[in-house]
Amino acid sequence: MRKVRMNVQGRVQGVGFRYTTKMLADQLGIHGAVWNEADGSVGIEATGSTEAMAKFIEGVKASPSPAGHVTYLDLTDDPMIKNRDSFEVTFGH
């Protein structure tokens, strides 16, 4: 099980990024949350198998939203991320 925290920058707000990220996570069996940050970036906490997480990270880097564009992704493994039963779009951390 891998637990990661991401901060995604670029054209990621107002383009359906959070909802398409949820669709990608649901497809891969990833649990966690995605939310907009006040600085225009998007925050993500995700847990899943190593294989599924690798696909999820690549999908986020490529922008799951066709209208989005990722210019920078900060990725940190964080074993303290709480386990969730699903992947949620939230309105703040």
- Read off the pLDDT of residues 36-88 as tens digits, 9 standing for 90 and up: 999 999 999 999 999 999 999 999 999 999 999 999 999 999 999 999 999 99
> Which structural domain, as residue segments, surrounds residue 29?
2-79
Is there a domain that residue 52 lies in?
Answer: yes
The residue type found at 38 is A
What is the pTM for the complete model shown? 0.95
Q: What is the CATH number of the domain that holds 23?
A: 3.30.70.100
pLDDT at 92 over 90: no
36 is catalytic: yes
Which residues 6+ apart lie within 8 Å of 38 measured at CB?
Answer: none
Please give the tally of structural domains in the chain: 1
Tokens 């670029």 locate to: 10
2 is catalytic: no
- Overall average pLDDT of the 5-16 stretch: 97
Exactly one of 5, 11, 18, 84 is catalytic; which is it? 18
The residue type found at 82 is K
